[in-house]
Chain A
Amino acid sequence: MSTSGTANRRPSQMFRNLNAKIASIPMILTALLVFLGGTVWTIVYSFTNSKLLPRLKFVGLDQYERLWSAPRWLTSIENLLVYGVLSLIFSLVIGFLLAALLDQKIRFEGVFRTIFLYPFALSFVVTGLTWQWILNPDFGVQNIVRSMGWESFSFNPLYDQDIVIYGILIAGLWQGTGLIMCLMLAGLRGIDEDIWKAARVDGIPMWKTYLFIVIPMMRPVFITTLVIIASGIVRLYDLVVAQTSGGPGGASEVPAKYVYDYMFLAQNLGQGFAASTMMLLSVAIIVVPWAYLEFGGHKRG
């Protein structure tokens, strides 16, 4: 860059790439007003006793006290934890295995890829309804196995309080792993062919190559995948509504549903805002340290 000695450096820095900066103003405003503004607004009103309509009558931490003593909210949190941990593990493991298997230069790879990715094209509501039918004891898997002669076979997750969250997990995995597989496959394809050749020359077995060489090299892909899976976990809502509507007996409630139900069904905005603030907080607790480690700690080119 040529420098004109007389001109002050600062403004030229500021007006560099002026067009790009102007172009990003709408997005900056949207982010500030809609996202940040909405967040602040929600947090402020979570300290009020707003019912059907928002009003500024502060009641301190009342909404939060009520929230954390509500059995339904505690069940919701517990369900989200179970679903979250298992969905994270299984999505990654199954997604990576499928990708690794597809990466063996098999025949009809395109066909398999399409089949695995197809569920992702369906909305959560359709996925949920489909699995509600498949898991229905009178029409679905249980009925089919029983009609084949195994009379005592019992597989009834959606009507059993203790395991209903796993019934939802199955549907969630079926829908989501295809995308994870695709991301992983892209990552695998990005690994240089020479690495494989070198590993083969050194006589390292294939599983070891994957575990100790390929996977560490795929770190950025794994991080992208993690963010995608995690955001899917926290917003879990439509799947539950379509499959069980929170039943049986509230055993499959999730935080997002609590927020919706208290804001709109119970006409208690304050309680809904308190719950959504807690959701935001839990996301922040996970995301902020990670983002700090990833982007803040050491500046990379």
Chain B
Amino acid sequence: MNTFKLFLAGASALALSAAANAAELEVTHWWTSGGEAAAVAEFAKAFDATGNKWVDGAIAGGGSTARPVMISRITGGSPMAATQFNTGRQAEELVEAGLLRDFTELAEKENWKAAIRPSSLLDGCTVDGKVYCVPVNIHSWQWLWLSNKAFEDAGVPVPTNWDEFVAAAPALEKAGKIPLAIGGQAWQTTGAFNVLIPAIAGKDVFLKVYKDHDAEAAAGPEIAKVFKAADDARRMSAKSNVQDWNQATNLVITGQAGGQIMGDWAQGEFQVAGQVAGQDYTCLPGLGVNELISTGGDSFYFPKLDDADKTAAQEALASTMLNPATQVAFNLKKGSVPVRGDVDVSAANDCMKKGLEILAKGNIIPDTNQLNTEDTNNQLNDLFVEFFKTPSLTPEEAQKRYAAIIASAD
């Protein structure tokens, strides 16, 4: 009996000491496509090198599937050690409820404020002057990806802006191509519409509608023009019957579709497919009309844990994610821009360099995730998924519903 007790004590002591050296942290995220998985492996590698262990908790099916799982685990009392959310308001209430850890101390020690640019990213993590998350990348939505091969097959030059693209659509259709690829997931249609706003109506209208939630602007003539363009997009995408965004990107990669409006994360897919920017595909920031990009992205949040070792390891993970070398390695694979202004990005490809240039010029807008609640985004999703698949829903009727959603947004 005594020896057994001794053995137990010894074993638990051993386990404790082992844990003190290396904690296993479960990190949940929804990065499952080829490019995304390659990027997240960089984080895991860098974190493992600190002597801890990254336990990958990938949740397939995209953010809309993953977020409910993450939130119910945090509110239900079995939190993971760290989790992804989009930079913005998605975790707002979790912070208010005191379920997430405050990282202000570490942020001050490592001077995140100076390193992270643009400052709006860290602002997105800050509630009442305290920092609650670590932004890891900058993603922008405002890109039009074009397949050079598709236009070659159709015998028309690769467009340089949205209007030329719309004009080229009949030629593409004649060559048996889908002019515009849009997947069936609701957020893709909303995303495409939100990209059309700054490109066609300009930055001010975009901010009026989404930042001030001005219903008059949403019902106004500028947005009417955007709905007109969305009507074009709807006709051009009528034949695209894929579901996931990366399947739609794949239509562009293989030249079956002319183009796709998608955030810069699509770049990771082109990279995995071995395509070269400028040669195999063309990217037009701001749809080639209005070179503006949004500064959304992903951030990691750290739920409060009881385990002291894990708590210590959370800090190690946070610093690892912001480490300049990790930032470069991760973002090159992900197709996004590093959040640090002080890192070497000479390895970036043409598209990413275009994005960095626009960023340096300060032509930026906030991401819709930073301005809208998930509730509003979801209502917009309901509207646009219907609009893009229902030819009988007129742009005028849709705009009326759009204005009503904006009017009720908070």
Chain A residues within 8 Å of B, Cβ to Cβ: 51-53, 66, 70-72, 159, 161, 245, 247-251, 261-262, 264-268, 271
Asked if A265 and B374 make an inter-chain contact with CB atoms under 8 angstroms apart, the answer reads: yes
Which 9 residue pairs are nearest across A and B when measured between Cβ atoms?
A249-B389, A266-B378, A264-B68, A52-B93, A268-B375, A248-B389, A267-B374, A250-B386, A72-B382
Shortest Cβ gap from B317 to chain A (Å): 24
Which listed residue (B377, B378, B388) contacts A249, Cβ 8 A?
B388
Shortest Cβ gap from B368 to chain A (Å): 14
Which residue of chain A is the closest to B408 with respect to CB atoms? A66
User: For residue B38, which residues in chain A have a CB less than 8 angstroms away from its CB?
Assistant: none
Shortest Cβ gap from A157 to chain B (Å): 14
Asked if A262 and B241 make an inter-chain contact with CB atoms under 8 angstroms apart, the answer reads: no
Asked if B378 and A261 make an inter-chain contact with CB atoms under 8 angstroms apart, the answer reads: yes
Shortest Cβ gap from B66 to chain A (Å): 11
Asked if B94 and A52 make an inter-chain contact with CB atoms under 8 angstroms apart, the answer reads: yes
Shortest Cβ gap from B79 to chain A (Å): 15
Shortest Cβ gap from A80 to chain B (Å): 17
Which residue of chain B is the closest to A263 with respect to CB atoms? B68
**B167-191 at interface with A (beta carbon < 8 Å):** 184
Which listed residue (A71, A161, A264, A268) contacts B401, Cβ 8 A?
A71
Q: Is B254 an interface residue (CB 8 A)?
A: no
Shortest Cβ gap from B64 to chain A (Å): 5
Asked if B67 and A265 make an inter-chain contact with CB atoms under 8 angstroms apart, the answer reads: yes
User: For residue A248, which residues in chain B have a CB less than 8 angstroms away from its CB?
Assistant: 184, 389
Q: Is B323 an interface residue (CB 8 A)?
A: no
Shortest Cβ gap from B235 to chain A (Å): 14
**B375-393 at interface with A (beta carbon < 8 Å):** 375, 377-379, 382-383, 385-390
Q: Is B97 an interface residue (CB 8 A)?
A: yes
Assembly CA distance A123 to B64 (angstroms): 23
Asked if A249 and B408 make an inter-chain contact with CB atoms under 8 angstroms apart, the answer reads: no
Asked if B97 and A53 make an inter-chain contact with CB atoms under 8 angstroms apart, the answer reads: yes
User: For residue B378, which residues in chain A have a CB less than 8 angstroms away from its CB?
Assistant: 261-262, 265-266, 268
Residue of B90, B374, B387 most packed against chain A (CB within 10 A): B374
Which residue of chain A is the closest to B67 with respect to CB atoms? A265
Asked if B71 and A264 make an inter-chain contact with CB atoms under 8 angstroms apart, the answer reads: yes
User: For residue B71, which residues in chain A have a CB less than 8 angstroms away from its CB?
Assistant: 52, 264, 267
Contact (A51, B93) CB under 8 Å given A161-B390, A248-B184, A267-B375: yes
Assembly CA distance A265 to B377 (angstroms): 10
Q: Is B160 an interface residue (CB 8 A)?
A: no
Which listed residue (B64, B243, B383) contacts A265, Cβ 8 A?
B64
User: For residue A271, which residues in chain B have a CB less than 8 angstroms away from its CB?
Assistant: 375
User: For residue B388, which residues in chain A have a CB less than 8 angstroms away from its CB?
Assistant: 249
19 A-B pairs with CB atoms under 8 Å apart are: A51-B373, A52-B92, A66-B408, A71-B386, A71-B401, A245-B243, A249-B386, A249-B387, A249-B388, A249-B389, A250-B386, A264-B67, A264-B71, A265-B67, A265-B374, A267-B71, A267-B93, A267-B374, A267-B375
Shortest Cβ gap from B74 to chain A (Å): 10
User: For residue A266, which residues in chain B have a CB less than 8 angstroms away from its CB?
Assistant: 374-375, 377-379
User: For residue B374, which residues in chain A have a CB less than 8 angstroms away from its CB?
Assistant: 265-268
Q: Is B50 an interface residue (CB 8 A)?
A: no
Q: Is B119 an interface residue (CB 8 A)?
A: no
Which residue of chain B is the closest to A73 with respect to CB atoms? B382
Asked if B389 and A251 make an inter-chain contact with CB atoms under 8 angstroms apart, the answer reads: yes
User: For residue A264, which residues in chain B have a CB less than 8 angstroms away from its CB?
Assistant: 67-68, 71-72
